[in-house]
Amino acid sequence: MRVAVASGKGGTGKTTVAVNLALSVDDAHLFDCDVEEPNAHTLLHPKEPVTTEVTVPAPRVNMGECTLCGKCVDFCQFNAIFVGKTKVMIYDEICHSCGGCMLACPQKAITEVERAIGSIVSGSTDEVKLTYGSLNVGEPLAVPVIKAVKAQANDNESVIFDAPPGTSCTLIETVKECDYVILVTEPTPFGLHYLSMTLEVIAELGTPHGVIINRDGIGDQETVGFLEQKGIPILMRIPFSKEIAELYSRGIPFVQEMPRYRKEFQETWKRIKREVTNGQ
């Protein structure tokens, strides 16, 4: 089973939920897909991590063959190529590595080289496996790194994807092909606003989903009323707790010190598994 943990905005406790859920589930493998700012490893501290490079194809022009015809510019929808009077410039940062410029070039003057845009780090603790991606500083396209992270998933494991915040293409790339999505929110007007936006995206994808309310006890009851009205299940409530906050500040997942929550996460996982099985 593949489960994604998502939220409409940062700071709701999405990674906290993903890490503690992974620690509570047997044979779990956590994938941190928030490649622009991965932080699951700061809570799990994997042993002997192994790093591999993530590359994408990048076009290069042989000026000895190029006639400066501009056919590559006409094809590129991302304006990643500029043809001047004497040379061609490639803007790697906005190139989407589609390979179309090579096909469009009548002189076959364009080839591709591999360009590093990030890395994947894999490791494990005594309780859980962890794989996370890291986008290189200055690189704008996170989706290829997310795809590389997800490619490491094995269907024989309990797979948990920690999704990036927001509702952009990085969330969609992480969530697609998942069996279930856990949405993490906080019971405040701000949290509800972003939750409703994310729910629209998940509903469009047609993925079964439920909500975990973090910092329960602050804010108001509008979030609960909204979820009841929409018929969206509340999977779990994590209270606004000084003890949990102190453990987090020390880099300690709270299920390791508060075992009652480990049981709650286990029951939540079983509930999700039943819903996915019944849905199939």
Interval 112-168: pLDDT, tens: 999 999 999 999 999 999 999 999 999 999 999 999 999 999 988 999 999 999 999
Pick 63-108's CATH classification: 3.30.70.20, 3.40.50.2020, 3.30.830.10, 1.10.390.10: 3.30.70.20
2-54+127-279 and 63-108: identical CATH topology: no
The CATH homologous superfamily of the domain defined by 2-54+127-279? P-loop containing nucleotide triphosphate hydrolases (3.40.50.300)
Please tell me the predicted confidence (pLDDT) of residue 167: 93
Tell me which residue has tokens 């996915």.
276
Cα separation, 277 vs 65, whole angstroms: 58
pLDDT at position 35 is: 98
Q: Which residues of 150-160 are buried (b: 16+ CB within 10 A; e: fewer)?
A: beebeeebbbb
DSSP assignment, residue 78? T
* pLDDT one-digit tens code per residue, 62-99: 999 999 999 999 999 999 999 999 999 999 999 999 99
> What is the rounded CA–CA span in Å between residue 29 and residue 19?
10
Phi-psi region of 74 (alpha: psi -120 to 50; beta: other; left: phi over 0): alpha
Q: How many residues does the chain have?
A: 280
The mean pLDDT of the chain is 96
Q: What is the pLDDT of residue 280?
A: 59
> 117 and 56 in contact (C-beta within 8 Å)?
yes
Say if CB 13 and CB 190 are below 8 A apart: no
pLDDT tens per residue, range 177-233: 999 999 999 999 999 999 999 999 999 999 999 999 999 999 889 999 999 999 999
What is the Cα gyration radius of the chain?
22
Question: How would you class 66 by CB atoms within 10 Å of its CB: exposed for 0-12, middle for 13-18, buried for 19 or more?
Answer: middle
> What mean pLDDT comes out for the span 28-35?
98
As given in the structure block, the two tokens for residue 176 are 């697609």
Half-sphere exposure of 95 (CA within 13 A, CB side): 25
3-state secondary structure of 60: strand
Distances, alpha carbon 44 to alpha carbons 32, 68, 123, 275, in Å: 11, 53, 10, 29
Residue listed under structure tokens 């790697």 = 92
pLDDT at 8: 86
Q: How far apart are CA 140 and CA 248, in angstroms?
A: 30
Q: Give helix 222-230 / helix 189-205 axis angle, nearest 10°.
A: 20
C-alpha dist (Å) from residue 153 to 6, 51, 183: 18, 16, 21
Q: Which helix (H) or strand (E) holds 132?
A: strand 129-135
Q: Where along the chain do its domains lie?
A: 2-54+127-279, 63-108
- pLDDT reading at 244 higher than 80: yes
